[in-house]
Amino acid sequence: MCGIAGVFRAAGVDPSPVPAMSRALAHRGPDGHTVRRYGGRAPYAAVGIERLAIVDLEGGGQPAKDVSGRWRVCLNGEIYNHTRIARELSASGVVLQSGSDTELLAALIAKTGLERALQQCHGMFAVVVLDTVERRLYLVRDRMGVKPLHWTELADGTVAWASEIKGLLQHPGISPDLDPIAIQQFLLFEYIPTPRTIWRGIHKVGPGTWLEVDASGARQHRWWTPPVPESGSAGNFQRWAKSLHGALQVAVHHRMEADVPVAYLLSGGIDSSAVAALAQAKSPSPIHSFSMHVPGVGFDEGEAAADVARFLGAVHHPVHLGPEDLPELLEAVSAFMDEPLADSSLLPTWKLLGAVRAAGFVAVQSGDGADESLAGYPTYPAHWLAGPAAPAAGLLRRLAHALPVQDAGVTADYMARRFTKGLGLPWARRHQVWMGAWLPQEVRADEAVWAEVDAHAAAAEGTDPASRAMYLDQRLYLGDGVLVKVDRAAGAHGIEVRSPFLDHTVVELSAQMGLGHKLRGRTGKRVLREAMGDRLPPEVLERKKKGFGAPVGPWLRGPCTGLLDGLDERVADWVPGDQLRRAVREHRAGTADHRRRLWSALMLATWLDGPWGPR
CATH number of the domain that residue 334 is part of: 3.40.50.620
* CA 76 to the chain's CA centroid: 15
The predicted structure's pLDDT at residue 300: 74
- Total domains in the chain come to 2
Q: Among the three residues 524, 541, 558, which one is the final residue of a domain in this structure?
A: 541
Amino acid at 99: G
76 and 139 housed in the same domain: yes
- Tell me if 40 is assigned to some domain: yes
State pTM to two decimals.
Answer: 0.95
- DSSP 8-state code for residue 476: I
> Closest Cα to residue 257, out of 51, 122, 506, 55?
55
149 and 266 housed in the same domain: no
Amino acid at 185: Q
The predicted structure's pLDDT at residue 573: 97
User: Cα–Cα distance between 411 and 408 in angstroms, integer?
Assistant: 6
Question: For the chain, which ranges sit under pLDDT 50?
Answer: none
User: Cα–Cα distance between 451 and 448 in angstroms, integer?
Assistant: 5
What 3-state DSSP class applies to 199? Answer: strand
- Tell me if 577 is assigned to some domain: no
- Tell me if 438 is assigned to some domain: no
Residue range of the domain that includes 76: 2-177+192-222
91 and 134 housed in the same domain: yes
Q: Which helix (H) or strand (E) holds 211?
A: strand 209-214
The predicted structure's pLDDT at residue 522: 86
200 and 268 housed in the same domain: no
- Tell me if 17 is assigned to some domain: yes
CA separation, residue 329 to residues 29, 191, 324, 352, 480 (Å): 22, 19, 9, 12, 21
> Closest Cα to residue 256, out of 228, 279, 286?
279
196 and 102 housed in the same domain: yes
User: Cα–Cα distance between 530 and 551 in angstroms, integer?
Assistant: 32
**CB–CB of 493/357 below 8 Å?**
yes
Q: Among the three residues 514, 541, 568, which one is the final residue of a domain in this structure?
A: 541
Phi, psi at 437, each rounded to 5°: -110, -90
The predicted structure's pLDDT at residue 546: 64
Continuous H helices in 440-518:
451-459, 465-473, 483-492, 504-512
The predicted structure's pLDDT at residue 450: 98
250 and 366 housed in the same domain: yes
User: Cα–Cα distance between 609 and 337 in angstroms, integer?
Assistant: 12
| Neighbour order of strands in the sheet with 315-320 | 315-320, 288-293, 263-265, 363-365, 496-498
The predicted structure's pLDDT at residue 406: 81
CATH code for the domain of 21: 3.60.20.10
268 and 204 housed in the same domain: no
The predicted structure's pLDDT at residue 408: 67
Residue 404: how many CB atoms within 10 A of its CB? 7
Residue 451: how many CB atoms within 10 A of its CB? 14
- Tell me if 138 is assigned to some domain: yes
Amino acid at 155: A
Q: Among the three residues 526, 541, 556, which one is the final residue of a domain in this structure?
A: 541
Amino acid at 413: D
**CB–CB of 45/6 below 8 Å?**
yes
289 and 216 housed in the same domain: no
Strand partners, 221: 210
- Tell me if 313 is assigned to some domain: yes
251 and 197 housed in the same domain: no
Report angle CA 149, 62, 31 to the nearest 5 degrees: 90
The predicted structure's pLDDT at residue 554: 92
- Tell me if 229 is assigned to some domain: no
248 and 134 housed in the same domain: no
- Tell me if 341 is assigned to some domain: yes
247 and 196 housed in the same domain: no
51 and 145 housed in the same domain: yes
The DSSP annotation for 106-160 comes to: HHHHHHH-HHHHHHH--EEEEEEEEETTTTEEEEEE-TT--S--EEEE-TTS-EE
